[in-house]
Structure 1
Amino acid sequence: MAPISDRGALEAHILHQEIVRLDTMAKQKIDYIMEKVRDEKALHEETREAKDLLASLGSKIDMLKAVTSRLSSRREQQNVRENAERHSKELAENQQQLRSATIHARRVINESARSSLLEGGSDEIERRKRQMDEKNLKEDAVKTTERLSDLLSKMGEQVAQSEQTMDSLVHSSSVLVQTHKEFESHA
């Protein structure tokens, strides 16, 4: 049976991974709203799903904060606190980006409706729309590349932290084995 500290560190590690997964899903949903949603019904549904993801993310961050008190090592506690704080900031950014994406999608929906009412679908409108779509695709590609780069760096940090946690667990395990042998030799 693992000591409480090791279980706490393992729980913190698992929660951290779940938070990164939910954060990635939320960012993808926000990007989808910004780039693809072009009608009110879809906007409402996608926004609701994004809010649900962000609520789950907030809950996991709170759970990570609660695990901090169960860690015996001050270094582990500090690392988990810093991660929780960083995740809280990311959550606030995601919430702001969701608001911006929703506003952008509504604006695009309204402009599309207005232009179709005013101009009635001429060839010039189609040409302008294609040009705007190309421009938007280029901008979206740049944004997506930046987000992927950010995600890659976060994943690198995650791997480094996982290695530190694994080293800590291996060290704790060897200390336990050594202590067990000492108890057996004294008995």
Structure 2
Amino acid sequence: MTVTDNANNVAGQSDSADAAQAGQPGPASTDDNRPPASEPDDQHDDTDDQDDAEQDDDADDSTRSSREKRYRLRLREAERQIAQRDAQIAERDELLARTRQAIVSSVVVDDSGYTPRVAELVAANMDALLDDDGVPDPQKVVDTLGAVVTDYGFARTPRPPRPVLQQGHTNGGGAPGNSSWAGAIKGG
């Protein structure tokens, strides 16, 4: 190597030296009080380590307690949400049962003319009355109604005929008082 090569090497050495020595220990220290970076520091004060360890323990305790507090809060929130969801599910199930009962009652009482007690007996086994969608099937309700009526001997409740509202009031079941043409003409 020539002198100019050495000069170029020294000038460019800082760039390539950093890359070449990245995994190597640092240069020896010129300070007498400080050990070189390649040697472990065996002469520093052990009381600092004890203080640091106590502070770390205190920090760990406070970190641990705050972490536990966060977990407790999360747990309480999750339990509250679960209880709220369970209450909503129970409320929904109760509404569904009442709706199904109302459907069965409308078929039994309104359409067939039996008492509400018969509707309760028909709806006793609600699962047998449901179709694939979970809605009471009117045909299954009528079939079950027929079985309940024959088993218990219920008779239909007599109902007065329903007036046809499109035909207006009649003398027998209409508005109070006798309506007549004379009253209509006089405005009374």
* TM-score, with length taken from structure 2: 0.30
**Which of 1 and 2 has greater Rg?**
2
* TM-score, with length taken from structure 1: 0.30
Higher helix proportion: 1
Relative contact order, higher structure (CA 8 A, sep 6+): 1
